[in-house]
Structure 1
Amino acid sequence: MKAARIMTFFVLVLAGCGGTPGRLSVPAAPSEMQVRVSVSSVVVGEISLPEYANASEVVRETEVGLIETVPDLIWADVPEDAMTNALVRHLSQITNVPVARAPWPLSSFPDAELTVRTERMLLQADGQLRLSGQYAIRRDDGPWAERIGDFDLSVPVRGDDLPALADAHAVAWRQLAEQIAGQL
């Protein structure tokens, strides 16, 4: 029922806004984690999201399990781009090594390449933001060459307003970066 209250609030707030939809922007959620890694640089390659999660409309799960758009609410940035930028920022800060988006902007080659395939990024009917999928880390040489890992994160949406939903995305993306950093 909490999710229903949150979504009802979103609809009521946005209904009074008129013709211009609200834009959901995900803030930075700094990490306290510091990890020593076995690579000296990382390129964040492909980040994929399900079609419903990468559309400009923000979506939610209904009580009966359907995915619907939140009326008059759109993303401030393309979700794949926003998530990629967040992972780059977090991994750089957590690992203290150069991390950049593909294509790699430097003349040398990166030590590792990260790919993330997200199967679920959705505000569930129970009020939890669910982020799940798989990531792959590829290296050409070193003590290990390739790794694949799964992630399944749930973050409560703490509040009945748009910043609470944005904050939940920020926390989920930070937690994903922390999990990946532990595998570099």
Structure 2
Amino acid sequence: MYLRILPLALMLAACSGPEPQFLIDTPTQAGSARLRVATLEVRQVSLPAYAAASEILLEGEDGALTQVDNALWADEPARAVTLAIAEQIGAASSATVAPEPWPLADDAQAAVQVTVSRLVARNNGTLRLTGQYAISSYDKVVRERIQGFDIVVPMVGEGPQAIARATGAAVTQLSGQITQSLR
């Protein structure tokens, strides 16, 4: 009996294609902000477990986080956010910026560590990104500090594409705040 069901289950699984995957969609940044550091390392962003998962989640009216049907992140969220922050700060500033591990022989003059306490697509049509970032400077090139952030952006449309765009917009705002704090 089970041997006859197995081929049918395998055929059905083969017919259902892979779940669509979405990138964190960050708007292109450009600028030439003069930072007080020439080199900056962006350490791996710390995300809550639910935000670090590959499933794209949406908060319901009852506060429960549920997976958006047939939607996954195309990259590990912590890696994607880390890379986006490094790219955004690098594009908007005069500094050489890279994610950890620092790829050059000489250490970076400063590092930024982002700890996200909340990254939630909410049922009211907004996405909220909260937490703190720490600026450390090995040679005290800049003043070390810890700064909180609370960013809320509207989600335009519905579904995973809207969540991906809003996540990208929130990460771009955070990158802008970090860039500004290093001026």
8 Å contact kept, 1:33–1:178? no
Shift of 1:70: 1.5
Q: Tell me the C-alpha RMSD between the 2 structures.
A: 1.7
The separation in 2 between residues aligned to 1:95 and 1:101, in whole angstroms, is 15
1:71 corresponds to which of 69, 72, 92 = 69
Where in structure 2 are the equivalents of 1:28-107 lying within 5 Å? 28-107=26-105
Aligned equivalent of 1:132: 130
2:6 aligns with none
Q: How many residues align?
A: 168
Give the letter aligned to residue 183 of structure 1: S
Deviation at 1:159? 1.2
Q: Which moved more, 1:163-172 or 1:80-89?
A: 163-172
Shift of 1:165: 2.1
Q: Distance in 2 between matches of 1:177 and 1:114?
A: 11
Q: Secondary structure at the match of 1:53?
A: helix
The Cα offsets for residues 28-78 of structure 1, whole Å up to 9 and x where unpaired, read as 312255422111100011311000000011111010111112122111000
Choose 1 or 2 for highest CA Rg: 2
121-130 vs 64-73, greater mean Cα deviation: 64-73
Contact 1:132 1:151 in 2 (8 A): yes
Deviations 1:135-162 (A, max 9, x none): 0000123464311100110111111343
Partner of 1:169: 167
Identify unmatched segments of 5+ residues in structure 1.
1-16
Identity of aligned residues (%): 36
Using the size of structure 1 for normalisation, the TM-score is 0.85
Q: Distance in 2 between matches of 1:28 and 1:50?
A: 20
1:111 aligns to what? 109
